[in-house]
């Protein structure tokens, strides 16, 4: 791979942190960007940044700082809704690749707080697209979600399946991101790749994720609310597999295609999933074995915005990169639980 200047937004977040770690020993020049908001405990975000070589004391909004551990890593605290700050950053650094992972996540949170999603996922994403229009990176990759497939679809989900009936506002904003990005790829020929992530989990995950919240509840003896009476399947995808796919796709920019008198813009979508849906109660059973403690399960009806099953068809990803996500749920959860004990070691005196 040739040396590139790469911007990774959401670099203090879950996937963004792992992507920064994956690139840290490469020849690439990495710029991480994050707003460090308070959707969940900011200290977890600062702990991730510390792993990248950025101390909390060194971070000032709008100022670029260099990692003390890796000279090719830089970081700036910046909100994507700050269009002037974003434009200034793009003008100065002229990124070759942009990996857009910054977003307001969470299906359930979007029901009660839609305006947060409008600001981050719509306004912030539009600002990023405008910066790309002006400064023309060679490749824009952006995070979408399996949520765009909605409910009632045949499985496995393929990228060509209809996605016009989102069942949560979060999913609607992710569908909007795909349509917005397509329009910019069409109008301005920006090579653009959308990444539909399927239930990503692993070390340094978000506290609102099922694996994280279930682990915490089991250890504390708190009840776990399981919806649809437990009849849920998820295509759990280990974060290392997700990052490996992104790393390979960075160098796989789509091209404009002319065929039979029509021209398609340089735009491509990929499912990033494990292609192995797992019953939610099986996830809980594995966590119980790893933690050596039974879960207190409360069964509830399906809640608004949720879907029964997610299941990724990943043939397009395999064809493009030769890579197939394949970390087993048991192995991935073992790594997560080990990290959880280590991170919260003052609370738990045992390890797996």
- What are 237-288's pLDDT values in tens digits? 999 999 999 999 999 999 988 877 788 999 999 999 999 999 999 999 999 9
pLDDT at 347: 65
Asked if residue 101 has pLDDT above 50, the reply is yes
Tell me which of 50-59, 116-125, 223-232, 274-283 is least confident: 223-232
**DSSP per residue over 211-267, as a string?**
HHHHHHHHHHT-EEEESGGG--EE--EEHHHHHHHHHHHHT-----EEETTEEE-SE
pLDDT of residue 26 exceeding 80: yes
pLDDT at 346: 61
Q: Delimit the domains of the chain by residue range.
A: 5-205+236-274+311-325
Question: pTM value?
Answer: 0.95
Helix axes 280-291, 210-220, angle to 10 degrees: 50
Task: Please report which confidence band the pLDDT of residue 348 belongs to, taking 50, 70 and 90 as the band edges.
Answer: low
Q: Which residues pair with 332 in a beta bridge?
A: none
pLDDT confidence of residue 166: 92
Q: Considering the chain, what percentage of its residues have pLDDT values greater than 90?
A: 84
Respond yes or no: is residue 170 known to be catalytic.
Answer: yes
Average pLDDT over residues 221-246: 92
Report the pLDDT averaged over residues 58-80. Answer: 97
Model confidence at 74, pLDDT cuts 50, 70, 90, reads: very high
Active-site annotation holder among 170, 184, 267, 270: 170
Quick one: pLDDT band at residue 351, thresholds 50, 70, 90?
A: very low
Mean residue pLDDT of the chain comes to 93
Higher-confidence position of 295 and 230: 295
* Span 116-166, pLDDT tens digits: 999 999 999 999 999 999 999 999 999 999 999 997 668 899 999 999 999
Measured distance between the N- and C-terminal CA atoms of the chain, rounded to whole angstroms: 38
Q: How confident is the model at residue 350 (pLDDT cuts 50, 70, 90)?
A: low
Q: Long-range CB contacts (< 8 A, 24+ apart) of 337-342?
A: 337/215, 337/287, 337/290, 337/291, 338/203, 339/202, 339/203, 339/204, 340/203, 340/212, 340/215
Range from 66-80, 149-163, 331-345 carrying the lowest mean pLDDT:
149-163
Phi/psi of residue 29, nearest 5 degrees: -95, 115
| Top-level class of domain 5-205+236-274+311-325 | alpha beta
- On whether the CB atoms of residues 110 and 305 are closer than 8 A, the answer is yes
């Amino acid at each position: 791979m040739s040396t590139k200047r790469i911007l990774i937004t959401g670099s203090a977040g879950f996937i963004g942190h792992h992507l920064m770690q994956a690139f840290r020993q490469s020849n690439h020049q990495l710029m991480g960007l994050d707003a460090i908001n308070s959707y969940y405990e900011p200290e977890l975000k600062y702990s991730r940044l510390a792993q990248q070589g950025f101390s909390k004391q060194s971070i000032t909004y709008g100022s670029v700082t260099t990692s003390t551990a890796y000279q090719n890593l830089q970081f700036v605290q910046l909100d994507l809704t700050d269009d002037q700050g974003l434009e200034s950053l793009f003008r100065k650094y002229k990124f070759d690749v942009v990996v857009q992972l910054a977003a307001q996540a969470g299906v359930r949170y979007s029901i009660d707080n839609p305006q947060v999603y409008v600001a981050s996922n719509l306004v912030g994403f539009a600002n990023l697209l405008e910066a790309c229009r002006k400064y023309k990176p060679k490749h824009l990759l952006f995070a979408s979600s399996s949520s765009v497939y909605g409910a009632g679809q045949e499985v496995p989900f393929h990228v060509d399946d209809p996605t016009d009936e989102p069942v949560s506002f979060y999913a609607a904003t992710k569908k909007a991101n795909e349509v917005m990005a397509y329009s910019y790829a069409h109008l301005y020929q920006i090579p653009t790749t959308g990444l539909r992530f399927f239930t990503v989990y692993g070390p340094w995950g978000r506290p609102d994720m099922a694996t994280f919240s279930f682990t915490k509840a089991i250890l504390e003896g708190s009840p776990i609310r399981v919806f649809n009476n437990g009849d849920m399947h998820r295509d759990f995808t280990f974060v290392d597999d997700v990052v490996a796919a992104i790393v390979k796709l960075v160098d796989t920019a789509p091209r404009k295609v002319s065929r039979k008198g029509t021209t398609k813009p340089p735009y491509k979508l990929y499912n990033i999933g494990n292609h192995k849906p797992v019953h939610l109660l099986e996830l809980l059973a594995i966590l119980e074995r790893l933690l050596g403690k039974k879960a207190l399960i409360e069964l509830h009806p399906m809640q608004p915005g949720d879907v029964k099953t997610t299941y990724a068809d990943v043939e397009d990803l395999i064809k493009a990169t030769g890579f197939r996500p394949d970390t087993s749920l048991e192995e991935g959860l073992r790594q997560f639980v080990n990290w959880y004990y280590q991170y919260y070691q003052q609370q738990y005196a045992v390890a797996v």
